[in-house]
Amino acid sequence: MSSSLGLKFLYHTVPGRFILKQLVKPSVSVRMGKFLSTGFSARLVPGYVRKNGIDLNRYEVPADGYASFNDFFTRKLRLENRPRPKSELIAPCDGLLTVLDIDSESNFLIKNSNYSLVRLLKDKELAEKFSNGTAFIFRLTPSHYHRYNFCSNGTVSSQKTISGKLHCVRPIALEQLPVFIENSREYVTIESVHSGKLVQMEVGALFVGKISNYEHNDMNYHVHTTDEKGYFEFGGSTIIVLTDHRVSVNDEILKRKRNDEGEIPVTIGESLI
């Protein structure tokens, strides 16, 4: 069964929805995560690389190979391939980008579904500060690099973790489910040096046991676009960057060929403005 047909079965049939309800239980996600960290799971790596057309020459590969599937999935770029950002606002990850304006009522459209910014952030006061901004939504596919950097230089002024069910973030899921309300997510607010106030949010997905952001001892700390913020374990995932004002998006990015869903391919470290 193809991934597309499998998603249609899960989200559009009664037996599929029953199975999905079992799959999204945290206990299932935890067990899957444990298995993917075992040595036995390393046997899945060669087939996964072939299926997704991953060029391992870009990445660090241990002399004895990856110890587990998660070890492979959270692989690091080779030193010479790591981003050297020069912009004040960058793509924090590899992914497929959608750019949206946030309207005056703090609602914006993601994949043909309307989402309340207040419910996304779980913070009415903060949402009001972004009611006339721009949203950059990055969807990571299985073939993408799953580590990510901070989107701007600045100071982290707050951070929040929101628990939730883990649902798939592929477009088919968005037709029926309030995906950002159901999914676990973590975000920080950044007082950017040049780009005003920003939000950078990571959203978990089906079979992702956790969003692995690095811990900081201080409540407020300085960050740079060259700093790695964290990584996703196995599963498709999403990163959202919000600005507190409308920004002019990098014309070179906007002119790129888009996929059938209107998403733009971007690479970690690229200038968004």
Torsions phi, psi of 49, nearest 5? Answer: -65, -45
Could you say which of 94, 152, 195, 244 is catalytic?
94
* 208 class by beta-carbon count within 10 Å (0-12 exposed, 13-18 middle, 19+ buried): buried
Residue 258 and residue 264 in contact, taking contact as beta carbons nearer than 8 Å:
yes
Residue 120 and residue 179 in contact, taking contact as beta carbons nearer than 8 Å:
no
Could you say which of 41, 106, 184, 237 is catalytic?
237
- Is 71 a residue of the active site? no
Give the CA count within 13 Å in the CB-facing half-sphere of 113: 17
Which is nearest to 272 in space by CA: 141, 98, 144? 98
Residue 163 and residue 183 in contact, taking contact as beta carbons nearer than 8 Å:
no
- Is 237 a residue of the active site? yes
Query: Which two structure tokens, joined as six digits, stand for 151?
Result: 């989107």
Contacts of 14 (CB under 8 A, 6+ apart): none
Q: What are the catalytic residues?
A: 94, 237
